Amino acid sequence: MRLGRRRVRPRAVLLAIGIAGLASLLGAALRALPPSGSGASAYGDLLVARSVPERRAQDVVAAVNFDYRGFDTIGEEFILFAAVVGVLTILRRRDDEEDVTARDEDASAARAPPPTSGAVRVLGAGLAGATVCFGLYMATHGQVSPGGGFQGGVVLATAPLATYLAMEVSVFEKIAPRWLIALGEGAGAAGFVALGFLGLLAGRAFLENVLPLGEAGDVLSSGTILAANVAVALEVAAGLVLLLAAFLAEALHRRLRRGAR
């Protein structure tokens, strides 16, 4: 331990020098920045003026995310997809690990956590139902009011979480089986890309808004923005539930095989 502390000293000096240099550069940069509140870009003003007449979308940020700059959102969704794949790969069951089964002495009934009380279970079930409603509302109303696919998807993902917290992990695994959730995530990611190809099939650009636009203020409006919202909500919700399931399985069900090391 003493050796570690002695070795930290030169590193702390280097850190101080580095932070001093960074601070001076930052200070100079911040002095040169225009004051906050002085202005946005002309692009932003243009989009705010054109979003309703061109796309019938009231929420300009959703229009920017899924229509005007939709290609960037495809990239962002694939970052999410790749991160979920990465976590599932890192936390996979290796050759020297095994799952704790019901027959092990570790998992006997005497060592199981006590079941939660009835009040908590009822509250959890009610909360899960309300959360699903709210998540679906937010995901489908992205073009009408603040919200959208990503926010609604994360809210949807908290519904299985609420059931896990209020009940046991076995209930969570029963309502959210791995294969179904993985299918949902793939469908969401592929659905967004398929939406882009819809534009190509209609003879126009990739990801161009080719579905009927409807009336501004309706849920069924702004063409592909609604469909993209739903696809993204599906992908994000399924991805987050997969992450949760992977971490839970790793924490609760996995252990090193006896005699592996």
Partner 1 sequence: MTTLLSHLPWAVAAWLLACGLYGVATSRNLVHLVVCLSVLQSSTYLVLLGVGWRTGATAPVVVAGAPPSAGPVADPIVQALMLTDVVVGATVTALLLALAVQVHERAGTLDPERLRRLRG
Partner 2 sequence: MIDLLRAAALRLAAAAGAGVVATRDPLAQAMVVSFLGIVLALLFLLYQAPDVALSQVVVGAVALPLMILLTLAKVRRDAEEQRRAGARPRTGT
Residues of this chain that interact with partner 2 (CB under 8 A) are: 59, 61-62, 138, 146-148, 150-151, 154-155, 157-158, 161, 240, 243-244, 247-248, 250-251, 255-256, 261
Separation CA 62–CA 64 (nearest Å): 5
Count how many Cα atoms sit within 13 Å of the Cα of residue 99 in the half-sphere of its side chain. Answer: 8
Contact between 172 and 236 (Cβ < 8 Å)? no
| Interaction of residue 114 with partner 1, rule CB under 8 A | no
Nearer to partner 2, 22 or 205 (CB): 22
Near partner 1 in 50-69, by CB under 8 A: 51-52, 56, 58-61, 63-65, 69
Please report how close the Cβ of residue 71 comes to partner 2 at its closest, in angstroms: 19
Near partner 1 in 139-158, by CB under 8 A: 145-146, 150
Nearer to partner 1, 26 or 133 (CB): 26
Structure tokens at 135: 């998540």
Where do we find the tokens 């080719």?
210
Separation CA 201–CA 198 (nearest Å): 5
Nearer to partner 2, 195 or 245 (CB): 245
Point out which residues pair with 98 in neighbouring strands: 255
Which secondary-structure segment (H or E) carries 97? strand 97-99
Contact between 251 and 84 (Cβ < 8 Å)? no
CA 81, distance to chain mean position in Å, is 9
* Chain positions contacting partner 1, by CB under 8 A: 4, 8, 11-12, 15, 19, 22-23, 26-27, 30, 33, 35-41, 43-45, 47-48, 51-52, 56, 58-61, 63-65, 69, 72-73, 76, 79-80, 83-84, 86-87, 90-91, 145-146, 150, 216-217, 243, 246-247, 250
